[in-house]
Amino acid sequence: MNKILLCVDSMQNALALCNAAIFFAKRYEASITFFNVLEEEIIVDAAFVGDLGFGVNAAFVERSLEQSEEKNAENKEYSNTLEFICKNHCLKQAIKLESLKVSGDFVQELQEHSKDYKLVVLGKMGKEKMGQNIKSALKQLNTPIFLCQDEFKQINHLLFAYDGSDFLDENLKKALKEPIFSNIKRSLLTLNSDRQKAIDNLNKAKELFKEFNIEIKSDYLLEENSQALLDYAKKNNCDAIAMGAYSSGALKHLFFGSFTDEIIQNSHLALLILK
């Protein structure tokens, strides 16, 4: 059975992320798993610190340990509250929510537990907020990622950002073989200051979509900057942008690296990161 991994760590966007997960679960006939990582404060045994000597103040150490324990307890309570909110919201849509809560480093745990999932749903709160955890997850995960804004809007028009690279072609084929979206409008845009290269990319993309019998409207711009892509998406009333993330090889293409960062930081739309 298909599974969606729902990553929630804030009440601010919890319902938006739930709505995104529900949207995909209904289209995939998939289950949803609530995923939360407790990055616990490190608690050191007071006796161990005392053995070290160096004039360590025992009262200070004891208070530090108490604060760490209090912080960990607060984090667990917050995690339980998030789980409760998400479960209730999903139940209203007749969807049962499973739960997976672990302790450790967020990216490492997400990388380990996302392997068996069809899609990972992550949140980005605000127009320009991209934490190091999200950036690292985009680089390291091998599962497609839906990066949701602080509000979820139903996807009716998806824009593919295409650069013609073999790396993106490989991930695009995976996405087209088992489409995440069905019965929606699809557009494709390539950016290249060289007109012939832009046209070549469009022709390549058309053949790729034709192979999977998927209709797509294609276009190109003789520019190579992220704002041109965002302006095009807004002008054409797109609801989300599908794109590649970071290249694992030595070569960096147009839609990798800093370009990806700029889109993530500045996009007002949800992003589907192809993997």
Please, which pLDDT band fits residue 57 given cuts at 50, 70 and 90?
low
Question: Higher-confidence residue: 13 or 180?
Answer: 13
Contact 117, 5 (CB under 8 A): yes
Please, which pLDDT band fits residue 222 given cuts at 50, 70 and 90?
very high
CA distance 158 to 110: 26
Task: Tell me which of 119-133, 189-203, 248-262 is least confident.
Answer: 248-262
Please state, as a whole number, how many other Cβ atoms lie within 10 Å of the Cβ of residue 58.
10
> How does pLDDT run across 177-208, given as a tens digit for each residue?
877 777 889 999 999 999 999 999 999 999 99
Q: What is the pLDDT of residue 125?
A: 57
On the question of pLDDT at 32 being above 80, the answer is yes
Angle CA(32)–CA(122)–CA(225) in degrees, nearest 5?
140
CA distance 36 to 189: 35
Tokens standing for 176?
Answer: 């087209």
- Hunting for tokens 């161990």 — which residue is that? 48
